Amino acid sequence: MRYWWVNQNQTFRQEFSSGYLWSPKRNANGAQNHFYETMREVSPGDVIVSFVDTRLIAIGVAQSYCFEAPKPTEFGATGSNWENIGWKISAKFTRLTHEVRPKDHIAVLRGVLPPRYSPLQANGNGLQGIYLTELSVDFAQVLFGLIGPEVEVILATAIPVAGYQLIAPVEDEIEGWERKIENTVALDDTIAETEKQALVSSRRGQGLFKRRVMELETQCRITKVDNPTHLIASHCKPWRDATNEERLNGENGLLLTPSIDHLFDRGFIGFEDNGTLIISPVAHLPSLDRMGLVTKEKINVGRFTSGQKNYLDFHRNYVLLEAHVRR
């Protein structure tokens, strides 16, 4: 379990009532932002302390890993300069009956403030350039002590038991988003019917896209299954993010078995340009082992074309659940 501090001055009402966190992927100028990248490090069961207008007013527990999602429509004009596609985490929030103003307790908190990425200044004022930052165990425990016994009640009812992760309908949300895009394609009069069919089938890793991927790939990179019946053409740059041309480009694909496709599409695994397998630090390793991926060995899956490398770079930066701005 990890502990996080989130500044929600602009979006607390929407995120609290609907049960999620959402951030852009990048700053308005396209640069990486550490406090958006941290979204990619959150795991189900992590604890999130909500800071709004100088006070800690709620505690949340993550219900999912991070996943791609459009900017929530309920934000309205809020964040008009934010990207339309960002990171989202399902979370269950509970409003505190005893709200705490950290500035009133800075003498106690100052001793546990981190040297980097602190959510508070030394005088106790908040830092609004921060969205989501990790808290040390010591910092979190001091905060919980200030809030009081209700913290234990909240966590006892929300943290998963017996080692099982909390479950949220992430796949349903992604499916709904992609279906909307699919409907847009279907209604586009500028696209020929045959191309529409190819684009729709490519979302499921089949049809023309799969045939083009098979010109480059002969088997699953991980399991070595080579029967096309049991393989999916998995997009490196996800179908939902790609242009129509990219959706049908064979170099934007790898042949994978369904379970490995799931891990790749959701960002639990990725690949370096030299073929080295990347396993996300938030991935549940026993599950990966059961899916046929040996997690205790260094795995190299072979060479990629220059085109595949370009698409894999997108996957590492925008899909893989691993922040690239390191502490």
Dist CA 54 CA 258 (whole Å): 47
Tokens 């073929």 belong to 275
Q: Which of 131, 154, 151 is nearest to 141 (CA)?
A: 151
Residues 45-52: what's their mean pLDDT?
Answer: 94
Dihedral over Cα of 321, 322, 324, 327: its sign: positive
Range of the domain at 291: 171-318
Report the CATH number that the domain containing residue 156 is assigned in CATH: 3.10.590.10
Identify whether 39 is part of a domain. Answer: yes
180 shares a domain with 123:
no
Identify whether 323 is part of a domain. Answer: no
Tens of pLDDT, residue by residue over 60-91, are 999 999 999 999 999 988 888 888 999 999 99
Confidence at residue 154, expressed as pLDDT on a 0 to 100 scale: 83
Dist CA 219 CA 190 (whole Å): 35
Residues 256-267: what's their mean pLDDT?
Answer: 95
Tens of pLDDT, residue by residue over 5-34, are 999 988 999 999 999 999 999 988 888 899
Confidence at residue 28, expressed as pLDDT on a 0 to 100 scale: 84
Residue 66's contacts (CB-CB under 8 Å, 6 or more residues apart) are 39, 40, 41, 42, 87, 88, 89, 267, 321
Of 143, 168, 193, at which residue does a domain stop?
168
Identify whether 325 is part of a domain. Answer: no
CB of 316 within 8 A of CB of 309?
A: no
What stretches of the chain show up as alpha helix (H) in DSSP?
12-18, 34-37, 106-109, 137-147, 150-158, 170-186, 193-203, 207-214, 244-247, 258-265, 285-290, 306-318
Other beta carbons less than 10 A from residue 310's beta carbon? 15
50 shares a domain with 179:
no
Of 123, 139, 168, at which residue does a domain stop?
168
Chain centroid, CA 14 distance in Å: 19
Dist CA 235 CA 105 (whole Å): 50
253 shares a domain with 132:
no
The number of domains in the chain is 2
